[in-house]
């Protein structure tokens, strides 16, 4: 089973990299970009076959390591 974890800075936490990307897009003539938030995607290849067990396990991974929940939120996709 494969899991995909999306990690983003929480709403309200300033994302200076996203802001820099927004400015660069503006410089290229993309005037309509009102906000950019940059995050990361982590792909996991799991031995687990049971979806609900895998979800519990990946959630634990997120809480313990993959995301810093002080500043980041995460979303899990299983397939």
Partner 1 sequence: MRAAVIQFPGSNCDRDMSVALNAAGADVTMVWHKNTDLPDGLDFVAIPGGFSFGDYLRVGAIAARSPICQSVVAFANRGGYVFGVCNGFQVLTETGLLPGALLRNAGLKYICKHVELNVETTQSAYTSAYKTDQSITIPIAHHDGNYNLDDADAQALFDQDRVAFTYADNPNGSVRSIAGVLSENRRVLGMMPHPERLADPAQGGTDGQPFFAGLINQIAKV
Residues that bind partner 1 (CB under 8 A): 9, 12-14, 16-17, 20, 64-66, 68, 70-71
CA atoms of 8 and 31, how far apart (whole Å): 24
Shortest Å, Cβ 50 to partner 1: 26
Shortest Å, Cβ 36 to partner 1: 13
Shortest Å, Cβ 46 to partner 1: 18
Q: Nearer Cβ to partner 1, position 68 or 75?
A: 68
Q: Nearer Cβ to partner 1, position 3 or 9?
A: 9
Percent helix, strand, coil in the chain (nearest 5)? 35, 25, 40
CA of residue 32 relative to chain centroid, distance: 24
Taking a C-beta distance cutoff of 8 angstroms, is the pair 25, 19 a contact?
no
Q: Nearer Cβ to partner 1, position 50 or 63?
A: 63
CA atoms of 63 and 79, how far apart (whole Å): 20
């Amino acid at each position: 089973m494969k899991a995909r974890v999306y990690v983003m800075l929480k709403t309200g936490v300033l994302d200076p990299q996203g802001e820099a990307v927004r400015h660069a897009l503006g410089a290229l003539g993309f005037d309509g970009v009102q906000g950019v938030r940059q995050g990361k995607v982590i792909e996991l290849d799991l031995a687990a076959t049971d979806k609900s067990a895998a979800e519990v396990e990946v959630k634990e991974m997120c809480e313990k390591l993959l995301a810093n929940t002080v500043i980041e939120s995460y979303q899990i996709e299983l397939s």
